[in-house]
């Protein structure tokens, strides 16, 4: 804990440093690192939004339903142990003579195990469900009996990827599910894995194991530091700090820290995920260049993002001003690797928001949430999963051809994290980042406080809050006012707040709160058009607040910008625009089923 005076000193030092130079290279002493906003515990937030809750309940139930033997099978097989029970199949399965050209069953055995254990631990912290904790403890013990160098040998194309995810599952088991053996199992895992890993961050497409084919160059050792630093911070031991440093990807990070754009050609999801390692390096080591790396990379990523917030068509980051993003609208249906990409994006923007308190990171998180992963098709019991969002002019929401792919590992983690993405806090009060029906509880100067939010946002502009401290108490509530929310307003107990409510800021209400005080936030959901890039200004997506409205059409019709901007809301989650050939239905991603749609339309006049 730090005092308020310390905190303010650090914060001002940090702000002064940033404004003085875009790319500071100095190393901050640990005591100088400005305190980031704190996350809430998973159990402090209850999400009541039906869309969000359903995704959590579905993924949680699915993970509980998977048989222990099936989950352990590839570990046991690769360790040469007897392996009873059914194959899960798909990418999860171990096939000794797997042909990588198929990208199909056998591609990444057991790669999602650690993510699933992590998601179960987070779900346990949210629900307190004993069956979930029992399963976590059972799986970790059964897994511990299989730990073997063979798992990281030539049998495995993704030893670093698997190790990274196992670390995540074990540290979450320790801190969220209270598994008393998790760190012992983590030590065994680390002792066994490390001799088989490359010793430093090896980029995608670089060979480091002799006698292997191309498929062995797709491992992701450069994403490891985030979980290693977290392991160190959560008390797993000093070695994890040293390992975190050892695997930092300087080839990737160093140019970015100076604002040089080196994203083009890199594998999209894993390199955005690696930016969370840069943020953990900053938070753990105090070296501000790692913060600059992540901040600059985020800005460069924004330049090549779709209106939905997604990025990386065909899983590849693009050169600036190349026209690649626009040409992908006809060139591919693999527009954005959705659950993995959204998971990486949420972590990155949460770190950046916590450190900078800049609400544009919350804006970005919100856009990504509503327009991509919240509308993901649910994982099926046979492993069919939603993988790519499709922004082609002839788009469809479909399951991947692959069962149990990487995205079946990240979707359950995404679903558990909506609550901790919604609220953050500092000593003076709470920051409301997302507008999701939910409630949060905390202790403020010895008083118990609850804050509840309700409403149909973003399908309606009004968000209602009730705050109840156990005794009248002064503290701050901060509300993110999105950059697009011109005309936003706030009232407390029916009285308009007189301070200006500025889009692109947090509106700060610091006052004495008493039981059942009511706050109403109005965020006008005005329509606007966003071009796919500067060279294709006539290729636009229609947005209403944070939502992209997808045109339900097999063949995009002739339409003007005026017609799109006049689209009317004709149902709860249903819009309609006039076109040359008649009315056209428009839906948010969460309401899209199997209809053909187009994300972008070419308008005749702007």
In the complex, the smallest distance separating the C-beta of residue 593 from Zn ion, rounded to whole angstroms, is: 22
Instruction: Please say which residue, 312 or 545, places its beta carbon nearer to Zn ion.
Output: 312
Q: Kindly list the distances between the CA atom of residue 398 and the CA atoms of 314, 386, 430, in Å, as whole numbers in the listed order.
A: 16, 7, 39
Instruction: Please say which residue, 76 or 347, places its beta carbon nearer to Zn ion.
Output: 347
Residues 437-456 that bind Zn ion (CB under 5 A): none
Residues 299-338 that bind Zn ion (CB under 5 A): 337
Q: How far apart are CA 174 and CA 234, in angstroms?
A: 9
In the complex, the smallest distance separating the C-beta of residue 73 from Zn ion, rounded to whole angstroms, is: 22
Q: Which residues pair with 547 in a beta bridge?
A: 544
In residues, how long is the chain? 606
Q: How far apart are CA 325 and CA 318, in angstroms?
A: 8
Asked whether 172 and 118 are in contact (CB, 8 A), the reply is: yes
Asked whether 203 and 253 are in contact (CB, 8 A), the reply is: no
In the complex, the smallest distance separating the C-beta of residue 162 from Zn ion, rounded to whole angstroms, is: 14
List the structure tokens of 103. Answer: 């990208």
Angle at 352 between CA 351 and CA 356, to 5 degrees: 120
Single out the residue of 119, 45, 60, 42 nearest to residue 413, CA to CA. 119
Q: How far apart are CA 374 and CA 382, in angstroms?
A: 21
Instruction: Please say which residue, 312 or 482, places its beta carbon nearer to Zn ion.
Output: 312
Q: Kindly list the distances between the CA atom of residue 23 and the CA atoms of 17, 273, 286, 290, 300, in Å, as whole numbers in the listed order.
A: 9, 21, 14, 10, 15
Reduced 3-state DSSP string for 517-552: EEEEEECCCCEEEEECCCCCCCEEEEEECCEEEEEE
Instruction: Please say which residue, 337 or 426, places its beta carbon nearer to Zn ion.
Output: 337
What is the separation, in whole angstroms, between the first and last Cα of the chain?
A: 54
Instruction: Please say which residue, 267 or 318, places its beta carbon nearer to Zn ion.
Output: 267
In the complex, the smallest distance separating the C-beta of residue 221 from Zn ion, rounded to whole angstroms, is: 17
List the structure tokens of 53. Answer: 């809750």
100 HSE (CA, 13 A, CB side): 13
Helical packing angle, 268-285 and 250-257, nearest 10°: 70
Residue-wise DSSP of 87-126: ---GGGS--TT--GGG--TTSSTTTTHHHHHHHHHHHHHH
- Residue 376 per-residue DSSP state: P
- Residue 29 per-residue DSSP state: P
Is residue 272 a contact residue for Zn ion (CB under 5 A)? no
Instruction: Please say which residue, 7 or 100, places its beta carbon nearer to Zn ion.
Output: 100
Specify the residue for token string 């693999």: 334
CB proximity list for 465: less than 8 A, separation 6 or greater: 432, 451, 452, 453, 454, 477, 518, 519, 520, 521
Per-residue contact flags (x/-) with Zn ion for residues 350 to 389, judged by CB under 5 A? ----------------------------------------
In the complex, the smallest distance separating the C-beta of residue 303 from Zn ion, rounded to whole angstroms, is: 23
Instruction: Please say which residue, 136 or 373, places its beta carbon nearer to Zn ion.
Output: 373
Is residue 407 a contact residue for Zn ion (CB under 5 A)? yes
Contact region for Zn ion (CB under 5 A) — 224-232, 406-414, 504-512, 568-576?
A: 406-414
In the complex, the smallest distance separating the C-beta of residue 375 from Zn ion, rounded to whole angstroms, is: 16
In the complex, the smallest distance separating the C-beta of residue 405 from Zn ion, rounded to whole angstroms, is: 6
In the complex, the smallest distance separating the C-beta of residue 406 from Zn ion, rounded to whole angstroms, is: 3
In the complex, the smallest distance separating the C-beta of residue 408 from Zn ion, rounded to whole angstroms, is: 8
Q: How far apart are CA 18 and CA 359, in angstroms?
A: 17
Specify the residue for token string 């290693």: 228
Residues 13-52 that bind Zn ion (CB under 5 A): none
Contact region for Zn ion (CB under 5 A) — 84-92, 121-129, 339-347, 510-518?
A: 339-347
Beta-carbon neighbour count of residue 397 at 10 Å? 20
Contact region for Zn ion (CB under 5 A) — 81-89, 278-286, 340-348, 469-477?
A: 340-348
Instruction: Please say which residue, 406 or 564, places its beta carbon nearer to Zn ion.
Output: 406
Instruction: Please say which residue, 216 or 387, places its beta carbon nearer to Zn ion.
Output: 387
In the complex, the smallest distance separating the C-beta of residue 269 from Zn ion, rounded to whole angstroms, is: 6
Per-residue contact flags (x/-) with Zn ion for residues 570 to 599, judged by CB under 5 A? ------------------------------
In the complex, the smallest distance separating the C-beta of residue 339 from Zn ion, rounded to whole angstroms, is: 6
Instruction: Please say which residue, 91 or 479, places its beta carbon nearer to Zn ion.
Output: 91
Is residue 340 a contact residue for Zn ion (CB under 5 A)? yes
List the structure tokens of 14. Answer: 């940090």
| Helices and strands: H and E segment counts in the chain | 17, 24
Contact region for Zn ion (CB under 5 A) — 144-152, 156-164, 343-351, 407-415?
A: 407-415
In the complex, the smallest distance separating the C-beta of residue 307 from Zn ion, rounded to whole angstroms, is: 21
Is residue 411 a contact residue for Zn ion (CB under 5 A)? no
Instruction: Please say which residue, 340 or 488, places its beta carbon nearer to Zn ion.
Output: 340
In the complex, the smallest distance separating the C-beta of residue 7 from Zn ion, rounded to whole angstroms, is: 38
Beta-carbon neighbour count of residue 198 at 10 Å? 14
In the complex, the smallest distance separating the C-beta of residue 217 from Zn ion, rounded to whole angstroms, is: 18
Instruction: Please say which residue, 248 or 407, places its beta carbon nearer to Zn ion.
Output: 407
Instruction: Please say which residue, 156 or 284, places its beta carbon nearer to Zn ion.
Output: 156
Single out the residue of 306, 227, 207, 305 nearest to residue 273, CA to CA. 227
Q: How many amino acids of this chain bind Zn ion (CB under 5 A)?
A: 4
Q: Which residues of 108-136 are buried (b: 16+ CB within 10 A; e: fewer)?
A: bbbbbbbbbbbbbbbbbbbbeeeebbebb
Per-residue contact flags (x/-) with Zn ion for residues 479 to 518, judged by CB under 5 A? ----------------------------------------
Among 162, 406, 488, 552, binds Zn ion (CB under 5 A): 406
Instruction: Please say which residue, 276 or 438, places its beta carbon nearer to Zn ion.
Output: 276
Task: Give contact residues for Zn ion (rule: CB under 5 A).
Answer: 337, 340, 406-407
């Amino acid at each position: 804990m730090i005092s308020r005076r310390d905190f303010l000193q650090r914060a001002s030092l940090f702000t002064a440093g940033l404004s003085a130079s875009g790319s500071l290279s100095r190393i901050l002493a640990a005591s100088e690192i400005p305190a980031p906003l704190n996350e809430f515990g998973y159990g402090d937030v209850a999400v009541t939004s039906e869309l969000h809750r359903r995704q959590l309940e579905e993924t949680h139930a699915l993970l509980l339903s998977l048989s222990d033997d099936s989950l352990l099978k590839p570990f046991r097989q690769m360790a040469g142990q007897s392996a009873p029970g059914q194959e899960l199949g798909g990418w999860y399965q171990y096939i000794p003579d797997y042909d990588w050209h198929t990208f199909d069953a056998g591609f990444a055995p057991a790669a999602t195990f650690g993510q699933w254990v992590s998601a179960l631990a987070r779900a346990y912290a949210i629900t307190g469900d004993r069956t979930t904790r029992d399963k976590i403890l059972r799986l970790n013990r059964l897994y511990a009996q299989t730990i073997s160098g063979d798992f990281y040998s030539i049998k495995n194309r993704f030893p670093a990827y698997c190790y990274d995810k196992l670390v995540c599952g074990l540290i979450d088991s320790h801190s969220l599910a209270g598994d008393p053996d998790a760190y012992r199992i983590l030590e065994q895992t680390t002792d066994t894995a490390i001799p088989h890993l490359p010793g430093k961050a090896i980029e995608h497409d670089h060979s480091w194991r002799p006698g292997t084919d191309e498929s062995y160059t797709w491992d992701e050792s450069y994403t490891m530091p985030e979980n290693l630093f977290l392991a160190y911070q959560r008390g797993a031991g000093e070695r994890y700090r040293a390992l975190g440093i050892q695997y930092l990807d300087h080839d990737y990070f160093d140019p970015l820290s100076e604002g040089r754009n080196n994203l083009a050609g890199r594998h999209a999801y894993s390199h955005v995920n690696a930016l969370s390692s840069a943020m953990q390096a900053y938070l753990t080591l105090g070296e501000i260049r790692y913060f600059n790396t992540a901040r600059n990379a985020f800005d460069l990523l924004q330049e090549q993002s779709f209106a939905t917030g997604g990025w990386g068509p065909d899983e590849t980051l693009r050169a600036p001003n190349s026209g690649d993003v626009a040409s992908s609208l006809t060139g591919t249906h693999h527009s954005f690797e959705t659950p993995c990409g959204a998971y990486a994006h949420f972590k990155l923007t949460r770190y950046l928001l916590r450190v900078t308190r800049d609400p544009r990171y919350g804006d970005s998180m919100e856009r990504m949430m509503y327009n991509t992963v919240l509308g993901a098709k649910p994982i099926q019991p046979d492993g069919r999963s939603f993988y790519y969002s499709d922004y082609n002019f002839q788009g469809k929401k479909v399951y991947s051809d692959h069962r149990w792919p990487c995205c079946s590992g990240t979707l359950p983690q995404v679903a558990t994290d909506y609550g901790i993405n919604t609220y953050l806090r500092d000593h003076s009060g709470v920051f409301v980042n997302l507008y999701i029906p939910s409630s949060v509880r905390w202790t403020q100067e010895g008083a118990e406080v609850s804050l509840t939010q309700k409403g149909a946002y973003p399908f309606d502009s009004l968000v209602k809050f009730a705050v109840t401290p156990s005794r009248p108490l002064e503290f701050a509530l901060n509300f993110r006012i999105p950059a697009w929310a011109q005309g936003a307003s706030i009232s407390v107990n029916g009285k308009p707040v007189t301070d200006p409510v500025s889009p692109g800021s947090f509106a700060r209400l610091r006052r004495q709160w008493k039981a059942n005080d009511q706050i109403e936030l109005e965020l006008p959901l005005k329509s606007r058009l966003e071009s796919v890039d500067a060279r294709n200004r006539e290729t636009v997506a229609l947005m209403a607040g944070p939502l992209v409205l997808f045109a339900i059409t097999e063949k995009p019709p002739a339409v003007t910008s005026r017609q799109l901007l006049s689209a009317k809301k004709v149902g709860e989650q249903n819009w309609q625009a006039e076109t040359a050939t008649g009315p056209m239905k428009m839906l948010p991603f969460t309401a899209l089923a199997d209809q053909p749609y187009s994300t972008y339309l070419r308008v005749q006049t702007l």
